[in-house]
Amino acid sequence: MNPSDTPAIAPADHAKYALGWLHTARFLTTAAQLHHLPTYDLPEIAFVGRSNAGKSTCINVLTQQKKLAYASKTPGRTQHINLFALGRQGQADAVLADLPGYGYASVPKHDKIRWQQVMANYLVSRENLKAIVMLCDPRHGLTELDDILLDVIRPRVEEGLKFLVLLTKADKLNRTEANKALSIARLQAGGGEVKLFSALKKQGVEEVASQLYDWMHP
Cβ–Cβ under 8 Å, residues 58 and 135: yes
Q: In this structure, is residue 3 part of a structural domain?
A: no
Residue 163 has pLDDT above 60, yes or no: yes
- What are residue 171's DSSP bridge partners? none
Provide the pLDDT for residue 107: 63
Residue 9 has pLDDT above 90, yes or no: no
Q: In this structure, is residue 116 part of a structural domain?
A: yes
Provide the pLDDT for residue 74: 47
The structural domain count of the chain equals 1
Provide the pLDDT for residue 8: 54
Q: In this structure, is residue 148 part of a structural domain?
A: yes
Q: What is the pLDDT of residues 187-217, one digit of tens each?
A: 888 778 999 999 999 999 999 999 999 999 9
Over range 50-71, report the average pLDDT.
86
Specify the pTM: 0.88
How far is CA 100 from each of CA 72, 103, 212, rounded to the nearest angstrom? 12, 10, 20
Provide the pLDDT for residue 148: 86
Q: In this structure, is residue 16 part of a structural domain?
A: no
Q: In this structure, is residue 97 part of a structural domain?
A: yes
Over range 49-70, report the average pLDDT.
88
User: Domain range spanning residue 196?
Assistant: 28-216
Q: What is the pLDDT of residues 25-45, one digit of tens each?
A: 999 999 888 889 999 999 999
Q: In this structure, is residue 19 part of a structural domain?
A: no
Q: What is the pLDDT of residues 106-154, one digit of tens each?
A: 667 777 677 778 888 999 999 999 999 999 999 888 888 888 889 989 9
Residue 218 has pLDDT above 80, yes or no: yes
CATH classification at residue 196: 3.40.50.300
Q: In this structure, is residue 130 part of a structural domain?
A: yes
